[in-house]
Amino acid sequence: MGLKIYLNGKLIDKKDARISIFDHGLLYGDGVFEGIRSYNRLVFKLNEHIDRLYESAHTIMLTIPISKIEMIDAIVRTLKANNLNDAYIRAVVTRGEGDLGLDPRRCHSPTIFIITDEIKLYPKELYENGLEIITVPTQRNSPEAVSPRVKSLNYLNNILAKIEAINSGVEEAVMLNAQGYVAECTGDNIFLIKGGRLRTPPPYAGILKGITRDCVIGLAKDNKIPVAEEMITRHDLFNADESFLTGTAAEIIPVIKIDGRVIGNGKPGKITLQLRKGFSNITKKDGIRY
């Protein structure tokens, strides 16, 4: 059976899933999305992801034509149609078909599509041995321009930073904000541990407030690990005892080298591994069953 895609209320074959070349999501990146995970037929933090999707849409004045309950039902229907036990879910809402101008008033009907498929963001050995990353010249978008809190379809800023990482022979890049402080990576939030204390940039540093990020912060507090959301410099990263990235697709992946500087002892740290284990346990019980 081929992959089924949800498109504007219907489940259709992947090969038949098409949108107009005049869709402003394609022409201008005018739209929002969410990446969601399911584990053993349990959709992890689905309500939180849907809330963020609708908040992103509200900020860009895009009215999603179905309710949150209907969106959740559409995601569950798509998962069931594809009979996936473990899946990556991409829910997308675009401004819809318009003309060649920027004016969003020309778009009268938003496009909604949902893809459920498998994903493998990083090789298994990087989760076991740790990831090497670099900082890059491309800055994170200013919150006063395209707010990083909006999970929009315009990811060119992140893609340019990703290209810089690839050109340097690594998988991921740290992006700084306009003030030179650490913001986040191209697709993940970043954490460091120093003296048993967990630190991560605050939302006002210009980051996406990640669902997995918030989950890890909660896990740390439950395990009596001190947590601080505060501004971080490259110097702080270089001298961390441990570091790791978090994201829906990435989950929790250790970082063992940044800009050529070895982090800690060059191996995934004790607290990182503790949080990874705790996160894995949560995914088995926190979500909506399908």
Structure tokens at 205: 């540093």
Report which of 5, 3, 150 is spatially closest to residue 75, judged by C-alpha positions.
5
Q: Map residue 105 onto helix, strand or coil.
A: helix
Cβ(151)–Cβ(208) below 8 Å: yes
Report the Cα 72 to chain-centroid distance in Å: 18
Cα gap 188→246, rounded to integer Å: 5
Which value, to the nearest 10 degrees, does the dihedral of the CA atoms of residues 204, 206, 210, 215 take?
-40
Cβ(246)–Cβ(282) below 8 Å: no
DSSP string over 127-157: HHH-EEEEE-SSPPPPTTSS-TTS-BS--HH
**For this structure, is 4 an active site residue?**
no
Q: Please provide residue 258's backbone torsions phi and psi, each rounded to the nearest 5 degrees.
A: -130, 120
Look-up of token digits 């994170």: 140
Would you put residue 75 in left (φ > 0), alpha (ψ -120 to 50) or beta?
A: alpha
Q: Of 4, 45, 151, 162, which residue is the catalytic one? A: 151
So which residues are the catalytic ones? 151
